[in-house]
Amino acid sequence: MNYLRLTMAFFWVGVISEVAYRINFFFQLFQSLISLGVAIAGISVIFSYTDSLGGWNAQEILALVGVYLLVGGIIGLIIRPGMEQFIASVRDGNLDFTLTKPEDAQLLVSIQRTNLWSLIDIALGMGVLITALVRLGEKVGAGQAGEFVLVLVAGGSIIYSFFLILATLSFWFVRIENILTVFQSLYEAGRWPVSLYPGWLRYGLTFVIPVAFATTVPAEALTGRLNWQTLVAASIVALVLLVVSRLFWRIGLRRYAGASA
Partner 1 sequence: MIKDSGTAPTVDIKDLRKLYMVTQQESGAGAAVQSLIHRRKLIVPAVDGISFHLDPGEIVGFLGPNGAGKTTTLKMLSGLLHPTAGEVKVLDYIPWKREKAFLRQITLVMGQRNQLVWDIPALSSYELNRVIYHIPLDHYRRTLAELTDLLELGPLLHKPVRNLSLGERMKCELAAALLHQPQVVFLDEPTIGLDVTMQRRIRSFLTEYNQRFGATILLTSHYMADVQALCKRVVVIHHGKLLFDGELAKLVQKFSEYKTIIVQIGDCQNNMADYGEVVSCEDGRITLRVPKAQTARVTEQLLADLPVIDLLVEDPPIEEIIDRVFAQEKA
Partner 2 sequence: MKALIELYIQQFKTTLAMMVAYRASLLIWMIGQVLEPLVYLIVWSIVSNNNGGSIGDYTTSQFAAYFILLMLVNQVTYTWVMYEFEYRIREGNFSFTLLRPVHPIHADIADNISSKLITTPSMIVVAVALGLVFHVSLAPQPWAIALFFPALFLAFAIRFFIEWTLAMLTFWTTRVGAANQTYFVLMLFLSGQFAPLALLPAPIQVLANILPFRWLISYPIDLLMGRLTFNQALIGLGVQAAWLIVSFILLRVVWRAGIKVYSAVGA
Identify the three-state secondary structure at position 57: strand
In contact, 230 and 238? CB cutoff 8 Å: no
Identify the three-state secondary structure at position 227: coil
- Cα separation, 200 vs 167, in Å, equals 25
40 binds partner 2 (CB under 8 A): no
Residue 207 is given by DSSP the state I
In the complex, minimum distance from the CB of residue 173 to partner 2, in angstroms, rounded to a whole number: 5
Q: Is 248 exposed, middle or buried (0-12, 13-18, 19+ CB in 10 A)?
A: middle
The single residue among 99, 169, 239, 242 that binds partner 1, judged by CB under 8 A, is: 99
- Choices 5-13, 188-196, 213-221, 243-251 (CB under 8 A): range interacting with partner 2: 188-196
Nearest to 125 by CA among 185, 190, 179: 190
The single residue among 19, 34, 232, 236 that binds partner 2, judged by CB under 8 A, is: 34
198 binds partner 2 (CB under 8 A): yes
In the complex, minimum distance from the CB of residue 28 to partner 2, in angstroms, rounded to a whole number: 8
The single residue among 127, 165, 177, 248 that binds partner 2, judged by CB under 8 A, is: 177
30 binds partner 2 (CB under 8 A): yes
Other beta carbons within 10 Å of 79: 25
How would you classify residue 221: left for phi > 0, otherwise alpha for psi between -120 and 50, otherwise beta? alpha
123 binds, among partner 2, partner 1, none (CB under 5 to 8 A by kind): none
In contact, 60 and 137? CB cutoff 8 Å: no
237 binds, among partner 1, partner 2, none (CB under 5 to 8 A by kind): none
Interface with partner 1 (CB under 8 A), residue total: 28
**CB-hemisphere CA count at 13 Å for 91?**
13
244 binds, among partner 2, partner 1, none (CB under 5 to 8 A by kind): none
H-type helices in the chain, by residue range? 2-19, 23-47, 58-74, 80-92, 95-99, 105-111, 118-136, 142-168, 178-187, 199-203, 211-214, 216-222, 228-259
x-marked contacts with partner 1 along 20-59 as a string, rule CB under 8 A? x---------------------------------------
* Residue whose CB is less far from partner 2, 7 or 24: 24
Question: Which residues form the interface with partner 2 (CB under 8 A)?
Answer: 21, 23-24, 27, 30-31, 34-35, 37-38, 41-42, 45-46, 49-54, 169, 173, 175-179, 181-182, 185-186, 188-189, 192, 196-198, 201
What are the residues binding partner 1 (CB under 8 A)? 2, 5-6, 9-10, 12-13, 16-17, 20, 92-94, 96-97, 99-103, 105, 108, 254, 257-261
